[in-house]
Homo-oligomer: A and B are copies of this chain.
Amino acid sequence: MKTTLDRLVQISRPYTRNGTLANYIPELTKANANALAICICDHTGNCTQSGDFNTPFTIQSVSKVVTLLYALESYGEDVFSRIGVEQTADAFNSIIKLETRNQGKPLNPLINAGAIATIAYIAEHEGKGTFRKLSAFLRKMAQNDAIHVNQDVYASEKRTGDINRALAYFQKGANSFSASVNIVLDTYFQMCSLEVHVKDLARIAQVLTNNGIIIETGERLFSEKTARMTKSIMTTCGMYDSSGHFAVTVGIPSKSGVGGGILSVVPGRYGIGTLGPALDEKGNSAAGVELLSLLSQELNLSIFQ
C-alpha cells in the first residue's frame, strides 16, 4: 500500500498547479499550494501515509460531516424537517435557493447554508455548549485529543465571514431557526478552524467505514442507520456542485473543504484523508480529486461497481 500511495502521490503532484489557494479567507492564502498528502486506514485500523502528511491544515467544510453525524445520531430524522438532502447546481455559498424554494429551508447539510442550519438546530437543544460538544465528538472520532482551533484562521474567518453572516441572517429572518445567530456563527467558524492532519480525516472516515464503531476500542459512536444516511448524503452532495461528476469518476462518498482536505469513506474497507490546498474552480482540492480518482481505479473503490 505504501508503494502504491507514494507512486500515486508522485503522479498526482503536478495537478496541484491546476488549482489556486482559497483567497476569501486571507489566512488560507498562507498555505503551501504544492502540498499533497494522503492517509488511508483499513478496517482493522492500520494506517498508511504518504506525501506531506505532517502538514497541518484547517478542516473547514469537512467538519460539516461531523456536525451532520452528531445531529442525526442525537435527534434522528427530525433533522430533515429543517434541512433537505437534495443537491443543488448552485455554488456552495449560494443564497438563491433559500429564497426561491422551501422558504428558507436549505437544500442539504453539506453546503454552507445547510451546515449553519444544522448547527442552529443543535444549538436550540445544546445552547452555548454546542461547540464544546461537537468538537469533543470530532476529537473522539479522530482519537486525537490534540485537535484544537487555529486561532489565526478563526479570527480571519470571523473578520471576513460576511457571506456566511448573510446566509444565517436570511434564515433567521425567514424564521427558519430560533437560535442566536451569534452563537451559531461562532460555532460554525470555530468548527471550520479546527486544525487537523490527513491522519485525523482518515480516522474520522474509518469510523464511518465501520458504521459507527471505533475499531481499536469497540465503542459505538453512532448507529448503522446514521452512518448509512450520512454516506448517502456525502455521495449526492459532498463535493459541492461537482458531486455528480465526482460520483462518476471516483465513486467514493466524500466531503471536501476549502482548506484542501477531503474525507472519503470506502464502505467496509477504507477511511481516507487527503490534503491538497490548491482548489479547482468548484472549491475542491485539484490534486486531491486526481489522487482519489487514480486510487479508486487502481483499487476498485467505487461503490458503483
Contact = CB atoms under 8 A, between A and B. Distances in A.
Interface of A: 80, 84-90, 94-97, 99-101, 107-108, 160-170, 172-174, 181, 211, 224, 228-229, 231-233, 235-237, 241-245, 247-248, 251, 253, 267-268, 302-305
Given A228-B304, A267-B304, 4 more contacts: A95-B170, A166-B169, A211-B305, A232-B304
Contacts of A94: 99
A95 to B, nearest CB: 5
For the complex of A and B, the 3 pairs showing the least CB-CB separation, nearest first, are A162-B173, A163-B173, A166-B170
Contacts of A224: 305
Given A94-B99, A95-B95, A96-B100, A86 B163 contact: no
Contacts of A100: 96, 100
Contacts of A244: 84-87, 108, 232-233, 236-237
B247 A232 contact: yes
A65 B167 CA distance: 28
A249 to B, nearest CB: 8
Q: Which of A173, A243, A245 has the most CB of B within 10 A?
A: A173
Q: Which of A96, A101, A267, A304 has the most CB of B within 10 A?
A: A304
Contacts of A245: 84-86
Given A236-B235, A236-B247, A86 B87 contact: yes
A90 B96 CA distance: 12
Contacts of A161: 173
Q: Which of A89, A229, A268 has the most CB of B within 10 A?
A: A89
A97 B101 CA distance: 15
Nearest to A102: B89
A255 to B, nearest CB: 14
Nearest to A24: B173
B99 A232 contact: no
Given A169-B163, A170-B162, A232-B251, A243 B87 contact: yes
A77 to B, nearest CB: 9
A228 B163 contact: no
Contacts of A160: 173
12 contacts: A87-B87, A100-B100, A163-B169, A163-B174, A165-B169, A228-B251, A228-B302, A228-B305, A229-B304, A232-B244, A232-B251, A232-B304
